[in-house]
């Protein structure tokens, strides 16, 4: 999982696998893929014990030609140089060969081999798998502000992305609640961090860790809204009034434009990929002219620092994005606001801002067409199916899961079943639009999360569904996906993700080979 492009496996002819008795041969350029594969097989040793005394299995990792029967990926690559991730896994008695067009492609093939090993019960089916992604950008947005995940926890998320062939970790590093990434230009921001401050050295180490696992980190600085922590640290970012109360950076304030320029430049230079994310969502309370001016300043600063921009979809309304930037569409078609209910929760002075909130969301259906008209690629993150902080609709398998299900998830989003979160395609999310799809990115916001196990509960088993939609070029069925999902729960328990949601009706089953059915 994700399901490969071409699968020709023969379950009647197998080769024995003892994860503790393998030899891995690889050239030096593949040392990261070799190490990742070795680590995963070492974890499996003892958990998978074939009958008898099988001989060592020889695994060969090779750089070679991309498989010709797999189309090249579409979309926009997160790196400066696009990676051809197409690869082949060939299994014969006593030997497995993983061949890819580049080291990242070989790593993707190694991930397939690990999943086969986990589900094989000591026997690998022989044959060939040829595979490659549908889209070049396949990501997860992780909010590390509302819940300040530690560096070790972020590394565990990166390993999960590698397992499911996702290649972008979008780190949401600033928000109303604080500023996680160390700022050298504005040191008062560092005191606002809601948890462990992530230093530039920390981010560099995370970036290297991720790169070795085929993952690009895209840092996000969320401006000009969602900035109450910054406004409190630097009151001269507003002229008082609504900007100070609502927490947005007012570009007409004395320090605002310098602040926007300096902090965005820091984030851009902290990124080693092509892109930096400049936020731009939910500019509640901001006059449009002020919002457009602020977004223009953030985009210009990123460009001057040598980075292209990803912005939440509201930024397309400003006309500030350049032809190589990306619009991230997040407001799902089902998004609506009950203005009366919101007003009932707020003092009368805030009611005009509720009306403005309604007006801003009412503009959302025009954002995709605006991106298409401007020739801007779109990154698909529809809250309808890709916001993984949505509550679960089906009951959990046990009382602990039911207690978590009652507590977790953003309640403005109606609960959905696993099938509903799977039953879409990238093209269906932009139906009727002549727009270039950059990729797919799931998102996990952490307002309700209190620890890592809560994250596991909300991410799994929904993240593999998002990964399959971004990677697999043909459409897979829910029934097949569900059958293949079962064995993964064992791997989650073995790798620290055991708090994953378990619905009553998802029992472990053996992985099926779709091509043989």
pLDDT reported for residue 516: 33
Q: How far is CA 250 from the centre of its chain?
A: 30
- Does position 456 have pLDDT exceeding 50, yes or no? yes
Region 81-110: mean pLDDT is 96
pLDDT band at 14 (very low <50, low <70, confident <90, very high): confident
Neighbours of 57 (CB within 10 A): 22
Start-to-end CA distance of the chain, whole Å, equals: 17
209-258 confidence digits (pLDDT tens) = 999 999 999 999 999 999 999 999 999 999 999 899 999 999 999 999 99
CA distance linking residue 265 with residue 154, whole number of Å: 24
What average pLDDT does the segment 266-292 reach?
Answer: 95
The predicted model gives 351-368 an average pLDDT of: 89
* Residues facing 56 on adjacent strands: none
Q: What is the pLDDT of residue 143?
A: 98
The predicted pLDDT at position 52 comes to 60
Residues labelled catalytic: 282
Specify the 3-state DSSP secondary structure of 40: helix
pLDDT at 357: 85
Identify whether the C-beta of residue 135 lies closer than 8 Å to the C-beta of residue 439: yes
- pTM of this prediction? 0.95
**pLDDT at residue 515, as a whole number:** 35
State the Cα–Cα distance between residues 28 and 302, nearest whole angstrom.
35
- Nearest-10 crossing angle of helices 31-44, 103-119: 10
Q: What pLDDT band is residue 511 in, cutting at 50, 70 and 90?
A: very low
Q: What is the DSSP string of 1-20?
A: -PPPSEEEEEEEEEEE--TT
The model's pLDDT over 106-144, given as tens digits with 9 standing for 90+, comes to 999 999 999 998 887 778 899 999 999 999 999 999 999
- Give the model confidence (pLDDT) of 49-76 as tens digits: 555 666 788 999 999 999 999 999 999 9
- Above 50 in pLDDT, residue 182? yes
Please give the mean pLDDT across all residues of the chain. Answer: 93
* pLDDT score recorded for residue 54: 64
Pairing of strands 123-131, 6-16: antiparallel
Local confidence band at 514 (pLDDT 50, 70, 90 cut-offs):
very low
* d(C-alpha 231, C-alpha 139), whole Å: 30
CATH class of 6-133: alpha beta
Tell me if 186 sits within 8 A of 221, measured CB to CB: no
In the block, residue with structure tokens 């210009």: 300
- 162-166, 334-338, 385-389: the lowest-pLDDT one: 334-338
- How far apart are the C-alpha atoms of 175 and 377, rounded to whole Å? 25
According to the model, what pLDDT value does residue 490 have?
A: 85
Residue 400's SS3 state is: helix
Rounded CA-CA distance 278/295 in Å is: 8
Domain borders along the chain are 6-133, 137-331+365-478
Distance, in Å, from the CA atom of 212 to the CA atom of 386, rounded to the nearest integer, reads 26
Per-residue pLDDT for 179 more than 80? yes
Instruction: Inform me whether the pLDDT recorded for 508 exceeds 60.
Output: no
C-beta neighbour count of 461 within 10 angstroms: 22
400, 502 in Cβ contact below 8 A?
no
Q: Is residue 178 within a helix (H) or strand (E), and if so which, with residue range? A: strand 178-179
Structure tokens at 182: 């160390």
> At what angle are helices 200-211 and 151-163 packed, to 10 degrees?
20
222 Cβ contact partners less than 8 Å away, ≥ 6 residues apart = 172, 174, 175, 279, 280, 281
Token pair in block for residue 230: 């910054």
DSSP assignments along 262-305, one per residue = HHHHHHHHH--SSEEEEE----TT--HHHHHHHHHHHHHHHHHT
Measured in residues, the chain has a length of 517
Work out the average pLDDT over 80-97: 95
Predicted pLDDT of residue 512: 36
CATH classification for the domain delimited by 137-331+365-478, as one of 2.130.10.30, 3.20.20.80, 3.30.390.30, 3.40.390.30: 3.20.20.80
**285-330 residue pLDDT tens:** 999 999 999 999 999 999 999 999 999 999 999 999 999 999 999 9
pLDDT 10s digits, 393-423: 999 999 999 999 999 999 889 999 999 999 9
Range with lowest mean pLDDT among 57-71, 272-286, 328-342, 385-399: 328-342
List, in order, residues 6 or more apart from 285 with CB less than 8 Å away: 242, 243, 245, 246, 248, 353, 356
- Evaluate the omega torsion of the peptide bond into residue 2 and state whether it is cis, within 30 degrees of 0: yes
The three-state secondary structure class of 363 is coil
């Amino acid at each position: 999982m994700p399901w490969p492009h071409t699968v020709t496996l023969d379950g009647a002819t197998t080769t024995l696998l003892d994860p503790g008795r393998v030899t891995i041969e690889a050239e030096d350029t593949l040392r990261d893929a070799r190490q990742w594969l070795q680590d995963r097989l070492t974890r499996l040793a003892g958990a998978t014990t074939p009958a008898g005394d099988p001989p060592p299995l020889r695994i060969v990792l090779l750089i070679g030609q991309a498989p010709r029967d797999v189309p090249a990926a579409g979309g926009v690559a997160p790196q400066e140089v696009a990676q051809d991730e197409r690869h082949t896994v060939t299994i014969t008695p006593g030997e497995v060969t993983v061949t890819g067009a580049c080291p990242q492609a070989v790593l993707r093939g190694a991930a397939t081999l690990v999943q086969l090993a986990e589900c094989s019960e000591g026997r690998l089916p022989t044959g060939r798998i040829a595979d490659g992604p549908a889209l070049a950008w396949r990501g997860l947005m992780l909010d590390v502000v509302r819940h300040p995940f530690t560096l070790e926890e972020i590394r565990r998320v990166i390993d999960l992305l590698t397992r499911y062939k996702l290649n972008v970790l979008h780190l949401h590093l600033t928000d109303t609640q604080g500023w996680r990434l160390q700022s050298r230009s504005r040191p008062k921001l560092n005191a606002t961090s809601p948890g462990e401050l992530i230093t530039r050295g920390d981010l560099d180490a995370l970036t290297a860790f991720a790169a070795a696992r085929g993952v690009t980190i895209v840092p996000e600085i969320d401006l000009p809204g969602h900035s109450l922590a910054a406004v409190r640290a630097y009151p001269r970012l507003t002229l008082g009034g609504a900007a100070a109360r609502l927490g947005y950076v007012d570009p007409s304030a004395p320090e605002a434009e310098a602040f926007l320029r300096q902090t965005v430049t820091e984030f851009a230079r902290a990124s080693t990929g092509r892109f930096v994310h400049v936020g731009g969502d939910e500019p509640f309370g901001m006059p449009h002219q002020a919002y457009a001016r602020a977004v223009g300043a953030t985009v210009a600063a990123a460009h001057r620092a040598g980075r292209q921009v990803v912005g939440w979809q509201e930024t397309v309304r400003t006309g500030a994005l350049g032809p190589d930037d990306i619009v991230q569409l997040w407001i799902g078609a089902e998004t609506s606001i009950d203005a009366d209910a919101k007003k009932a929760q707020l003092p009368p002075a805030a009611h005009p801002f509720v009306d403005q909130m309604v007006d801003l969301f009412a503009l959302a259906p025009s954002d995709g067409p605006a991106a298409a008209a401007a020739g801007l690629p779109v990154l698909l993150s529809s809250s309808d199916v890709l916001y993984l902080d949505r509550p679960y609709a089906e009951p959990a398998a046990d009382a602990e899961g039911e207690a978590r299900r009652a507590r977790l998830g953003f309640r403005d989003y109606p609960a959905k079943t696993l099938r509903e979160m799977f039953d879409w395609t990238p093209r269906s999310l932009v139906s009727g639009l002549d727009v270039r799809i950059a990729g797919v990115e799931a998102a996990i916001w952490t307002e309700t999360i209190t620890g890592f196990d809560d994250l596991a509960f909300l991410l799994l088993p929904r993240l593999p569904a998002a990964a399959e939609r971004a990677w697999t070029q043909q459409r897979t069925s829910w029934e097949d996906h569900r059958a293949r999902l079962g064995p993964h729960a064992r791997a989650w328990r073995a790798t620290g993700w055991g708090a994953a949601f378990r619905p009553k009706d998802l029992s472990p089953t053996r992985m099926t080979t779709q091509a043989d059915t």
